[in-house]
């Protein structure tokens, strides 16, 4: 199995069995994201305590890339500080828009999320991959709606 196939497996698995799907009941932050190009929708509920993201869930519907990205994002930022989550948002954006491999992005995001780096070759898909991260950023900034347009 080559790396590309392995990456596809990770994405398919997260799409089939999304982690943290649903709603955080006692969330204190939330944001909705919409990607009109593809029709992806994500509704994010986040609970922060102090400076920590203690719980996070996503709902909505979208393509495999947007669902897998939301699933991986929620897993990655749960338990992190708000500042760390914002740094990961920046690293993710850099990862999907840069041409080469950025080692510091890989350190920050982990191997699983790096499986989405393949969207770089499909510009239309970049917005699918970044949607959940934009929603996270919006929720943490206290904004409630975000669109990729």
Q: Verify binding: residue 63, Zn ion, rule CB under 5 A.
A: yes
CA-closest candidate to residue 62, choices 11, 97, 114: 11
Specify the residue, 66 or 74, whose C-beta has the smaller distance to Zn ion.
66
Q: Site map for Zn ion, 30-59, x if CB under 5 A? A: --------x-x-------------------
Chain residues 111-130 in contact with Zn ion, contact rule CB under 5 A = 128
What distances in angstroms separate CA 23 from CA 27, 42, 95, one per listed residue?
8, 11, 28
* Nearest CB to Zn ion, comparing residues 28 and 61: 61
Least Å distance, CB 108 to Zn ion, is 24
Which helix or strand (DSSP H or E) is residue 65 part of? Answer: helix 64-77
Closer residue to Zn ion (CB): 29 or 127 = 127
Two structure tokens written together for 97: 């828009």
- Indicate whether 27 belongs to the interface with Zn ion (CB under 5 A): no
Residue 34 or 47 having the CB closest to Zn ion: 34
Tokens coding 115: 């499986």
Q: How far is the CB of 148 from Zn ion (least distance, A)?
A: 10
Least distance CB 110 / Zn ion (angstroms): 22
Alpha helix segments (H runs only) across 2-148: 3-16, 64-77, 82-97, 103-109, 111-114, 123-141
Radius of gyration of the chain (CA): 14
* Positions in the binding site for Zn ion (CB under 5 A): 38, 40, 63, 66, 128
């Amino acid at each position: 199995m080559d790396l590309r196939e392995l990456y596809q497996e990770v994405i398919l698995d997260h799409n089939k069995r999304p982690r943290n799907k649903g709603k955080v009941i006692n969330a204190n932050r939330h944001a909705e994201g919409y990607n009109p190009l593809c029709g992806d929708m994500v509704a994010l509920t986040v609970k922060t305590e102090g400076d920590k993201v203690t719980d996070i869930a996503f709902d909505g519907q979208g393509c495999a890339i947007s669902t897998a990205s939301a699933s991986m994002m929620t897993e990655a930022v749960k338990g992190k500080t708000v500042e760390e989550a914002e740094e990961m948002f920046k690293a993710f954006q850099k990862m999907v828009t840069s041409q080469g491999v950025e080692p510091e992005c890989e350190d920050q995001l982990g191997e699983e999320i790096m499986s989405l780096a393949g969207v770089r070759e499909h510009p239309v898909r970049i917005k699918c991959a970044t949607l959940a991260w934009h929603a996270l950023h919006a929720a943490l900034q206290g904004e409630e709606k975000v669109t990729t347009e």
